[in-house]
């Protein structure tokens, strides 16, 4: 089959690889019909490169049709239509029972000290072959795949794999009271969808980015916007808009590759010049994240407010303004999305006739798998009005 593979820093290649096979009786094999490109894939492209191995199949936002089921699978049949969550959770352990699917104790990576395994996401998360491919092996066939009805186009359900539950969790964790104001930092797919979900819940939403067409999209849905490239810090602007107080909650939908923090950027570049084994060590022991978005969140949240972080951070020792956090009495919540915790609630919403979150028109580009190398670059550089890419293997 064809698959998108990581071959080196900023070097994705579509190559022929062996078809996946059933390895455990609980596995299913899925023929992939659509597969998203995520901001998290961009971290593999560059900063998380030390944890990648040439040939790794990437991608973690797939859906498709079941092609084969293992002998122990009871609830799925060949021909069923499924969306595959990006985190691999057993559905039965202590963590899964508590809704903490991204911390699943069956697939946790104890050797690297990280949470549940993820599809297509480096040695840090189990080095499991990913879903930007023609086929995918999916474990826990009875509990992990989300069965969806045949009929509507893929885009109606595809974003259940990641964007929707991630944005949903971000809004849940932000926990804004009725009538409150939510600030969303970042208007990529995650920030955009979090904005839509919060607006759908009747909140006032202010969304920040510097990419004009991304701001226009959320404005079109009813958000107020701030272009952070026009300001020296966004905190004062946010306070102006909120009776001097700041936002009740802030979602950081940017993560470790934020623009606007040159010092850490230099550190990250320097890291890239080290030999690979040393890079891995340095990355695990020293901070190198660009913290611009998180620092904006800390500045803009009101006293006693909440910061909900869905942007991914990867360095173990980032310096944070602890006095400001403590004195402002800020609550912090974060983590990889617990996809299965929210997916049934979201699916119910998607099955309404009306497309309340605008998922049908959310993707800006549908591309064949063979366009992946160029799509990664364009998505990173925000060219061609590219916000969300869906590959159609």
Ligand X SMILES: NC(=O)c1ccc[n+]([C@@H]2O[C@H](COP(=O)([O-])OP(=O)(O)OC[C@H]3O[C@@H](n4cnc5c(N)ncnc54)[C@H](O)[C@@H]3O)[C@@H](O)[C@H]2O)c1
Q: List the one residue out of 310, 325, 255, 321 whose CA is nearest residue 288.
A: 255
**Interface with Zn ion, residue 44, by CB under 5 A:** no
Which residues in this chain contact ligand X in the complex, by CB under 6 A? Answer: 38-40, 42-43, 162, 166, 185-191, 208-211, 214, 228, 253-255, 258-260, 292-293, 296, 310-312, 336-337
CB 309 within 8 A of CB 333: yes
Full strand arrangement of the beta sheet holding 181-185? 224-227, 204-209, 181-185, 247-252, 301-309, 331-334
- How far apart are alpha carbons 191 and 196 in whole angstroms? 9
Q: CB-wise, 38 or 73, nearer to ligand X?
A: 38
Pick between residue 82 and residue 194 the one whose CB is nearest to ligand X: 194
Partner that binds at residue 106, options Zn ion, ligand X, none, CB closer than 5 to 8 Å by kind: Zn ion
Residue 138 in 3-state DSSP? strand
To which residue do tokens 């029972």 refer?
97
Among 40, 108, 288, 306, which residue interacts with Zn ion (rule: CB under 5 A)? 40
CB of 355 to ligand X, least distance (A): 20
| Residue 37 binding partner per list Zn ion, ligand X, none, with a CB distance cut-off of 5 to 8 Å that depends on partner kind | none
Buried residues in 221-243 as b, exposed as e (16+ CB within 10 A): eebebbebeeeeebbebbbebbe
The one of ligand X, Zn ion, none whose footprint includes residue 88, by CB under 5 to 8 A per kind, is: none
Give yes or no for residue 193 binding Zn ion (CB under 5 A): no
Least separation, in Å, of the C-beta of 98 and Zn ion?
10
Using rule CB under 5 A, residue 38 touches Zn ion: yes
Q: How far is the CB of 338 from ligand X (least distance, A)?
A: 9
From candidates 162, 209, 252, 257, binder to Zn ion by CB under 5 A: 162
User: Least CB distance from residue 327 to ligand X, whole Å?
Assistant: 23
Which is closer to ligand X, CB of 134 or CB of 299? 299
133 is a contact residue toward Zn ion (CB under 5 A): no
| Cβ atoms of 350 and 336 closer than 8 Å | no
Q: How far is the CB of 21 from ligand X (least distance, A)?
A: 29
DSSP state letters, 222-243: T-EEEEGGGSS-SHHHHHHHTT
Binding-site partner at residue 189 among ligand X, Zn ion, none, CB < 5 to 8 Å by type: ligand X
Output 69 or 357, the one with its CB closest to ligand X.
357
Segment near Zn ion (CB under 5 A); pick from 15-23, 33-41, 145-153, 201-209: 33-41
Pair of tokens at residue 94: 């202590």
Give which of 14, 8, 249 is closest to 132, Cα–Cα: 14
| Site for Zn ion contains 108 (CB under 5 A) | no
Binding site partner of 35, from Zn ion, ligand X, none, Cβ cut-off 5-8 A by kind: none
Residue listed under structure tokens 């309340």: 356
Q: How far apart are CA 391 and CA 257, in angstroms?
A: 23
Here the tokens at position 382 are 């925000």
Integer CA distances (angstroms), 306 to 145, 172, 215, 235, 328, in order = 32, 11, 23, 15, 10
CA distances (Å), origin 40, targets 35, 253, 385: 14, 11, 19
The residues that bridge with 118 in the sheet, in sequence order, are 87
Contact between 35 and Zn ion by CB under 5 A: the answer reads no
Between residues 28 and 208, which has the closer beta carbon with respect to ligand X?
208
Q: 10 or 274, CB closer to ligand X?
A: 10
The C-alpha atoms of residue 270 and residue 171 are separated, in whole angstroms, by 36
Q: Judged by CB, which is closer to ligand X: 3, or 185?
A: 185
Q: Which residue's CB is nearer to ligand X, number 328 or number 388? A: 388
Site membership for Zn ion, residue 104 (CB under 5 A): yes
Task: Examine residue 96 and tell whether it contacts Zn ion (CB under 5 A).
Answer: yes
Cα separation, 356 vs 84, in Å, equals 22
- Report the interface residues with Zn ion, using CB under 5 A: 38, 40, 89-90, 93, 96, 104, 106, 162
């Amino acid at each position: 089959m064809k698959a998108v593979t990581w071959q080196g820093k900023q070097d994705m290649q579509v190559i022929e690889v062996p078809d996946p096979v059933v390895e455990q009786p609980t596995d299913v094999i899925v023929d992939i019909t659509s597969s998203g490109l995520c901001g998290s894939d961009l971290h593999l492209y560059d900063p998380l490169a030390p944890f990648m191995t040439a040939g790794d199949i990437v991608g973690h936002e797939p859906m498709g049709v079941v092609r084969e089921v293992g002998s122990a699978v009871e609830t799925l049949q060949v021909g069923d239509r499924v969306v595959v969550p990006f985190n691999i959770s057993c559905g039965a352990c202590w963590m899964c029972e508590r809704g903490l699917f991204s911390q699943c104790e069956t697939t946790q990576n104890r050797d690297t000290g990280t949470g549940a395994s993820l599809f297509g996401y480096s040695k840090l998360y189990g080095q499991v072959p990913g879903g930007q491919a023609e086929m995918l092996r999916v474990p826990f066939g009875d509990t992990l795949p989300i069965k969806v009805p045949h009929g509507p186009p893929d885009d109606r359900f595809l974003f259940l794999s990641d964007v929707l539950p991630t944005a949903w969790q971000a809004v849940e964790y932000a926990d804004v009271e009725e009538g409150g104001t939510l600030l969303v930092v970042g208007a990529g797919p995650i920030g955009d969808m979090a904005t839509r979900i919060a607006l759908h819940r009747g909140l006032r939403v202010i969304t920040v980015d510097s990419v004009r067409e991304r701001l226009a999209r959320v404005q079109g849905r009813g958000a107020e916007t701030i272009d952070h490239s026009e300001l020296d810090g966004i905190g004062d602007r946010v306070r102006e808009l909120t009776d001097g107080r700041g936002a009740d909650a802030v979602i950081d939908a940017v993560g470790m590759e934020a623009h606007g923090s040159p010092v850490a950027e230099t550190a990250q570049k320097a890291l890239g010049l080290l030999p690979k084994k040393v890079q891995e060590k340095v990355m695990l022991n020293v901070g190198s994240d660009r913290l611009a978005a998180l620092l904006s969140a800390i500045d803009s949240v009101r006293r006693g407010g909440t910061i909900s972080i869905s942007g991914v951070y990867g360095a173990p020792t980032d310096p944070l303004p602890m006095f400001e956090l403590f004195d402002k009495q800020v609550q912090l919540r974060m983590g990889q999305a617990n996809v299965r915790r929210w997916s049934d609630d979201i699916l119910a919403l998607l099955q309404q006739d009306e497309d309340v979150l605008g998922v049908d028109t959310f993707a800006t580009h549908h591309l064949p798998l063979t366009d992946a190398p160029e799509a990664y670059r364009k998505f990173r550089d925000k060219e061609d009005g590219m916000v969300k890419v869906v590959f159609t293997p």
